[in-house]
Amino acid sequence: MAAKIISGTETAAIIREELKGEVKILKEQHGLVPGLVTIIVGVNPASVSYVTAKQKTAKELGFYSIQEDVHEDVPEEELIAMVEKYNKDSSIHGILVQLPLPRHINETRVLNAINPNKDVDGFHPVNIGKLMIGDATFYPCTPLGIQQLLVKNGIQTDGAEVVVVGRSNIVGKPIAMMLVQKAKGANATVTICHTATRDLAKHTKRADILIVAAGRPKAITADMVKEGVTVIDVGVNRVGMTPEGKAKLCGDVDFDAIKEKAAFITPVPGGVGPMTITMLMLNTVKAARLAANII
């Protein structure tokens, strides 16, 4: 029997409706409007598209939203000064600097300049450290989206064998740390695999839940998974063009073959992607609440 498709589009829409109601209450009862600034340096088409989608979603939810378009030759100190300006702006609760940044800018210095209480992307060392010890304020958006997909679709993580393929600071490491915590929607036994893993299939075949963020199209094939597995495919790979001139996308797993063995699987597109932006909005609302001391 073919797998049930986990729709990130549908799950994200449900969460956004909940957030819209929450924002309305914050405005009416507390005079509080969540504020988000997105800073984009240069004109990378993928980054521009992503930031535009973030801004559109923020406005739909009723946020106070600012987009800073910065020239690609901006000096590093000037960019950090912009971050510092928004650190001090009480109307802004979330600051997001879109990556990647130009080569002449040290990404770590810029991200570390963000006030951890406004770090709605969840990448500041303070927030990563708090995640590690199970006391996170803000979780990185894509891993949080993955966890929410599992929770909202009733997929049991407690005691589950979870295998994560990929060890990036953006997805692999944080989702592993989140799912290993002794907490609701977690409490799993987690294995992290990567490019130096020997016999990858030996590990992936054990997975009750397989999370793949390898960055390679169809890296996981049907013979590498067991029957009844839940597959979360984080990859987005361009593999050609459609006759209409649109990019043809595929994930890091062989979707068509694996869906015949899996119990649950995310599609690409329409799986993890829509959740990432929604989790950014969720973090921003949380930051606004914390700033106003509204529990």
pLDDT band at 50 (very low <50, low <70, confident <90, very high): confident
Angstrom distances, CA of residue 76 to CA of 81, 116, 149, 190: 9, 20, 37, 38
Choosing from 55, 118, 119, 121, which is the catalytic residue?
121
Q: Which of the listed CATH numbers 3.90.180.10, 3.40.50.720, 3.40.50.1820, 3.40.50.300 matches domain 141-273?
A: 3.40.50.720
User: Active-site residue among 54, 118, 218, 259?
Assistant: 54
31-115 belongs to which CATH class? Answer: alpha beta
pLDDT at 13 over 90: yes
What are the distances in angstroms from CA 145 to CA 15, 274, 283, 284?
11, 8, 11, 14
Matching CATH topology for 31-115 and 141-273? yes
98 is catalytic: yes
pLDDT band at residue 1 under the 50/70/90 scheme: low
Site of tokens 């901006």? 74
* Mean pLDDT of the chain, nearest integer: 95
Active-site residue, from 98, 147, 148, 181: 98
How far CA 149 is from CA of 157, 264, 286, in Å, comes to 11, 11, 19
End-to-end CA distance of the chain: give it in Å, rounded: 45
Determine how β-strand 94-97 pairs with β-strand 35-41. Answer: parallel
CA 139/CA 268 separation, integer angstroms: 23
Q: What is the dihedral of CA 290, 291, 293, 294, to 10 degrees?
A: -60
Give 185: exposed, middle or buried? Use CB within 10 Å, 0-12, 13-18, 19+. Answer: middle
Q: What predicted TM-score, i.e. pTM, was given to this entire model?
A: 0.94
54 is catalytic: yes
Provide, rounded to the nearest whole percent, the portion of the chain with pLDDT above 90. 89
Domain range summary for the chain, segments of one domain joined by +: 31-115, 141-273
pLDDT (tens digit per residue) in 219-248: 999 999 999 999 999 998 887 777 887 878
Could you confirm whether 184 is annotated as catalytic?
no
pLDDT digits (tens, 9 = 90+) for 117-167: 999 999 999 999 999 999 999 999 999 999 999 999 999 999 999 999 999
* 55-75: pLDDT as tens digits: 999 999 999 999 999 999 999
